[in-house]
């Protein structure tokens, strides 16, 4: 069992060549864990139908077993073999897949995905990633992969292979290096299992785009509902080890400033041009860079809740929350 993170020789970080992808597929097929790039963040992949492999993934991440996983597939057809997307889901899938959108839908009878991956729910979270390495791995393997972010549960998500190695060195079998992630934030999650399409997590596809396609989204009825139906909804999540101070307009002693727009005194700047897409791509990378022992607090400039700014602020609020403090 991989529960002891220090018990294995550190996994190799290798360029994501065709030969390395074949090796990664073989490892996953045999029950191993492989980190690989997507357009959102690096995922930690295991065979979605292998109970032992899925259990190993939960153990390595220290992830609560009631927190479901997202199943990654290579096409809309592969997704519809697992879940009933209905008309709303089909519209969203055609317009956004491959891409940073996850759809939660009723699993089909006979679906072979491990019940551990779904926290024993009758729903399944699925998406088609928009990254050539991820799609090549899925095609080579020939079966779905569950792939939460490749880091210890609750901490800052990885957007480079080096981030994965820092978080999970010695705990995984292989790390495929496909460069920096383009989007840099996890996928948007929409629940289609009820009468109203419900936003469970903002992410790489904007709410405005989704609502243009299928109409207004309902909010989750409760925090408990969103946590149990969707990954990435823990009250404290995406967090560096140093505390965050949000909506900062100054820099206090012992702090570093993560800026947005043209602000003086920023140690790093998410986007000097105040571009929320650039800020999203930089967010986790820069939080990691500022998470240093000589830093008391990471102060963060205000980011407008427009477009991807909604998802950025969701991640920042969860990263800044106390362990027992609710978010939202």
User: Looking at the structure, do residues 80 and 198 belong to the same domain, yes or no?
Assistant: yes
**pLDDT score recorded for residue 231:** 65
In a shared domain, residues 264 and 122 = no
Contact 101, 209 (CB under 8 A): no
Task: With cut-offs at 50, 70 and 90, classify the pLDDT of residue 321.
Answer: confident
- Give φ, ψ of 90 to 5 degrees: -65, -40
**Rounded Cα gap, residues 49 and 56, in angstroms:** 13
- Greater pLDDT, 221 or 27: 27
Averaged pLDDT score across all residues of the chain: 91
What backbone torsions phi and psi does residue 159 show, to the nearest 5 degrees?
-120, 5
Q: In the listed set 179, 196, 229, which residue is the last one of a domain according to the structure?
A: 229
Task: Give the distance between the most distant pair of CA atoms in the chain.
Answer: 59
Tens of pLDDT, residues 198-237: 999 999 999 999 999 999 999 876 444 554 666 655 555 6
Q: DSSP string of 197-262?
A: -EEEE--SS-HHHHHHHH-PPEEPS-HHHHHHHSTT--SS-SB-SS-EE-S-SS--TTEEEEE-SS
Query: In which domain, by residue range, is 220 found?
Result: 5-229
Query: Band of the pLDDT at 1, cuts 50, 70, 90?
Result: very low
pLDDT for residue 325 is more than 90: no
CB 170 within 8 A of CB 10: yes
**Same domain for 276 and 130:** no
Q: Are residues 39 and 142 in the same domain?
A: yes
173-186: per-residue pLDDT in tens? 999 999 999 999 99
Statement to judge: residues 294 and 157 lie in one domain: no
**Which of 229, 264, 287 is the C-terminal boundary of a domain?**
229
CA angle, 211 then 157 then 129, to 5°? 50
Average pLDDT over residues 55-67: 94
Distance CA 43, CA 36 (A): 5
Task: Look at residue 170 in the predicted model and tell me its pLDDT.
Answer: 85
At 272-309, the pLDDT tens digits run 999 999 999 999 999 999 999 999 999 999 999 999 99
DSSP labels, 116-176: GGGTT-SEEEEE----HHHHHHHHHHTS-EE--BSSSTTBPPP-SHHHHHHHHTTTSSEEE
Do 157 and 189 belong to one domain? yes
Angle 289-59-55 from CA coordinates, rounded to 5°? 130
- End of a domain among 229, 262, 278? 229
Q: Which residues pair with 35 in a beta bridge?
A: 44, 175
34: CATH: 3.90.870.10
Q: Which two tokens stand for residue 163?
A: 């981030």
- Break the chain down into helix, strand, coil percent, rounded to 5: 30, 20, 50
The residue count of the chain comes to 328
* Same domain as 275, residue 138: no
CA proximity to 35, closest of 195, 170, 147, 183: 147
């Amino acid at each position: 069992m991989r529960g002891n993170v220090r018990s294995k020789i550190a996994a190799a970080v290798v360029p994501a060549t065709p030969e390395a992808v074949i090796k990664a597929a073989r490892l996953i097929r045999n029950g191993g864990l492989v980190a690989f790039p997507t357009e959102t963040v690096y995922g930690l992949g295991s065979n979605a139908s292998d109970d032992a492999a899925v259990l190993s993934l939960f153990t390595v991440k220290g992830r609560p077993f009631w927190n479901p996983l997202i199943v990654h597939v290579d096409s809309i057809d592969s997704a519809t073999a697992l879940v009933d997307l209905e008309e709303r889901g089909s519209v969203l899938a055609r317009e956004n897949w491959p891409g940073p959108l996850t759809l939660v839908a009723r699993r089909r009878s006979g679906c072979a995905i491990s019940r551990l991956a779904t926290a024993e729910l009758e729903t399944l979270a699925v998406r088609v990633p928009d990254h050539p390495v991820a799609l090549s791995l899925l095609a080579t393997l020939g079966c779905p992969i569950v792939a939460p972010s490749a880091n210890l549960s609750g901490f800052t998500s990885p957007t480079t292979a080096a981030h994965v190695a820092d978080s999970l060195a010695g705990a995984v079998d292989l790390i495929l290096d496909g460069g920096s992630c383009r989007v840099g934030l996890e996928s948007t999650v929409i629940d289609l299992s009820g009468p109203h399409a419900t936003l469970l997590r903002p992410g790489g596809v904007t709410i405005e785009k989704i609502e243009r396609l299928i109409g207004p989204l309902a909010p989750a009825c409760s925090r408990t509902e969103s946590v149990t139906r969707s990954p990435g909804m823990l009250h404290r999540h995406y967090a560096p080890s140093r505390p965050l101070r949000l909506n900062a307009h100054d820099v206090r002693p012992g702090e570093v400033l993560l800026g947005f727009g043209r602000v003086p005194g920023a140690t790093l700047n998410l986007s000097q041009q105040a571009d929320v897409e650039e800020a999203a791509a930089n967010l986790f990378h820069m939080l990691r860079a500022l998470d240093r022992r000589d830093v008391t607090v990471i102060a963060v400039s205000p980011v407008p809740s427009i477009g991807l700014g909604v998802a950025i602020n969701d991640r920042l609020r969860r990263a800044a929350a106390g362990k027992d403090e609710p978010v939202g």
